[in-house]
Amino acid sequence: MSFESFLTKENFEGYEDPERYKKDWVPRLDKYRADLESAILPEYKITLPEPIEKLQKDQFNPLEYLYEKKLLSDEEKRITELSATELAKEIASGKLKSVTAFKAYARRATICHQFTNCALELFVDEGLERAQMLDEYFEKNGKVIGPLHGVPISLKEQMDYKDKITHGGWVGLLDRIPKKHGATIQILENLGAVFYVRTNQPQTLMHLDSNNNFVGTSRNPFNLGLSSGGSSSGEGSIVAFGGSSLGVGSDIGGSIRAPAAYSGCHGLRPTTRRVALLGGISSGAGQESVVPVAGPMARSLDDIDLFMKHYVNDGNPWQLDQWALPLPWRTVEPPKPESLTIAVMYDDGVVKPTPPIARGLKEVVAKLKNAGAKVIEFKPIRVQEAIDTVNKMYNCDGNYMQKKLLSASGEPLTKLTKWALNYGNGSKDIGVAENRKLNVIRDSLRQEYTDYLNANKVDFILGPAYNNVAPLPEAVYNWSYTALYNILDFPSLSFQTGMFQDPTVDKWGSEHSSYTYRSELEKLELSGYDPELFKGAPIALQLAGRRYFDEELVAAGKTILKVLDVDLLHK
């Protein structure tokens, strides 16, 4: 079954208008790209070792190259290998200037962009001004303006940024220039963060990948032949590459966890309403069956904790955004491994994991058991039903809003836009009564999973973040491993195992030759797995916990990373 055979044409016919697009929008997109190109400051410009297409074909690893070729000074390397927690501390102690820290990140980010195409907008000059202002404030007052004083943070473009185009991946929104920051950006600015880059995301924001008509796809910092994931695509690349100290993504089906997992960093999808969403663009305004979240991505779980703690407790997002919950972020110490009970989902019953993911999971389980954790097998509960339901929820408005936003420019639809427009009932508005029934199914799922945790005294569910490592560009179809936790609204964390795909090891076992795919989707996802194509891709997993108990989840993640001895900061 080909990709196309999955699609129903009625679900995306009448969106495109090639003539109007070419006439009204292509020249403006050319200018948009030229502006981005010219925003690369000369001092941070590098000469690529080969043309980018060749590097992509060769599965080039730019992070390795950064280190081998010493593209950073020793001090720049040292600074960009600090956790955000350490960085903030050095700046607050006066040991390090915001400007010095910023310049190191500006270089690393700009190098990252030249390899991975992670940025939609670079404004390093503004970041530098801000860093200078922060240093002046510190000198004058002898204290920081907030707990994130001087920390360089990258932002998914979707969030409203004062006086800057905020298009969310829709060409038709090129004129959308917010008059003020979205609530989360405003809070981070109040806390002292420095902004300088807004990152790539796919058309419609509804891919676990990155293609759009602005700048195309972002690539994986460990293998330029692979995707960086999505929809927080550029955040995956830049955070994993070390081009920012912390990143902010958003997630309605895996859009924080997929890019973090694929690209090689950690990403938290918090429970809904802990991070403000006021001020931003999505096609889901007023959709509350499966609610999007914003959340942090980082190279260290201390930094995820740092972000959430200060964002929630010092940022008080509920004061700006009525929708955010006044639920303080609690300090939770990492538990001892032997106090943990973890249920492992080896296969969700929708798409089984490829060899590197299966290997990663097996090894992590072995190490956890060895460290004393109690590990039981999780028998997936109604996953297919959950995924069918969440897929219907995404577009049960008959794609009304997506159509409106896409048709505004008549822009060409990318492959995975068509895929997601095809979800559920496609272009059919199912009506309110049917939508309510979906919500009832959702609530029964949430209750059943909660009852499972209670009855079995399970603390967390461990499993894949996706059925594969980073996929080839525009070839990620299955959202089941991540979207499950969106419909459940369980906090979930993609984390790195420190392991990488190895073509010599990660081959299908002999039993696979007689494996009968359980669905056409599974076949589509798995039949393209050729070990040679995924060389060196990070192996990540996912941990999920109880609704609103995000603090316990992050703390347990720290315990697991300690058991695995993972350090993403130092190469």
Residues annotated as part of the active site? 156, 231, 255
As measured in angstroms, the least distance from the Cβ of 432 to a copy of itself is 4
- Residue 161 tokens read as 């940024």
- Locus of tokens 């110490």: 333
Q: Has 521 been labeled as part of a binding site?
A: no
* 205 assigned ligand-binding residue: yes
Regarding 423 and contact with a copy of itself (CB under 8 A), the answer is no
Cβ closest to a copy of itself, residue 34 vs residue 327:
327
Residue from 71, 371, 401, 475 touching a copy of itself (CB under 8 A): that is: 401
Residue of 432, 509, 513, 565 interacting with a copy of itself (CB under 8 A): 432
Distance CA 66, CA 89 (A): 26
CA 82 distance to own-chain centroid: 21
Q: Which of 240, 213, 169, 155 is nearest to 469 (CA)?
A: 240
Q: Binding of a copy of itself at residue 160 (CB under 8 A)?
A: no
- How is residue 146 annotated by DSSP? S
**Binding-residue total with a copy of itself (CB under 8 A):** 40
Nearest distance, CB of residue 63 and a copy of itself, angstroms: 40
Among 16, 382, 548, 569, binds a copy of itself (CB under 8 A): 548
Q: Is 340 annotated as a binding residue?
A: no
Residue 455 in the binding site for a copy of itself (CB under 8 A) = no
Contacting residue, 14, 18, 27, 431, with a copy of itself by CB under 8 A: 431
Tell which residue, 454, 394, 449, 385, has the closest CA to residue 425. 394
Instruction: Tell me how far apart the alpha carbons of residues 297 and 152 are, in angstroms, rounded to a whole number.
Output: 13
β-bridge partners, 235? none
* Beta carbons of 202 and 228 less than 8 angstroms apart: no
**Is 327 near a copy of itself (CB under 8 A)?**
yes
Q: Is 424 assigned a ligand-binding role in the annotation? A: no
Residue 35 is a binding residue for a copy of itself (CB under 8 A): no
Q: Which stretch binds a copy of itself (CB under 8 A): 321-329, 377-385, 528-536, 556-564?
A: 321-329
- Residue 60 found at the interface with a copy of itself (CB under 8 A): no
Tokens encoding 388: 């069918």
Q: Which stretch binds a copy of itself (CB under 8 A): 42-50, 165-173, 437-445, 533-541?
A: 437-445
Quote the least distance from Cβ 295 to a copy of itself, whole Å.
18
Long-range contacts (CB closer than 8 Å, 24 or more residues apart) made by 70-77: 71/46, 71/107, 71/111, 72/104, 72/107, 72/108, 73/104, 75/100, 75/104, 76/103, 76/104, 76/107, 76/108
CA distance 9 to 48: 41
Closest to a copy of itself by CB, 429 or 502: 429
CA distance 295 to 119: 18
Q: Name the one range near a copy of itself by CB under 8 A: 164-172, 234-242, 349-357, 436-444.
A: 436-444
The tally of CA atoms less than 13 A away on the side-chain side of residue 183 is: 20
Q: Binding site for substrate: residue ranges? A: 205, 231, 252-255
Residues of each annotated binding site: 205, 231, 252-255
**Site residues (vs a copy of itself, CB under 8 A):** 278, 284-289, 318-319, 321-323, 325-327, 396-398, 400-401, 429-433, 435-440, 443, 446-447, 449-450, 454, 547-549
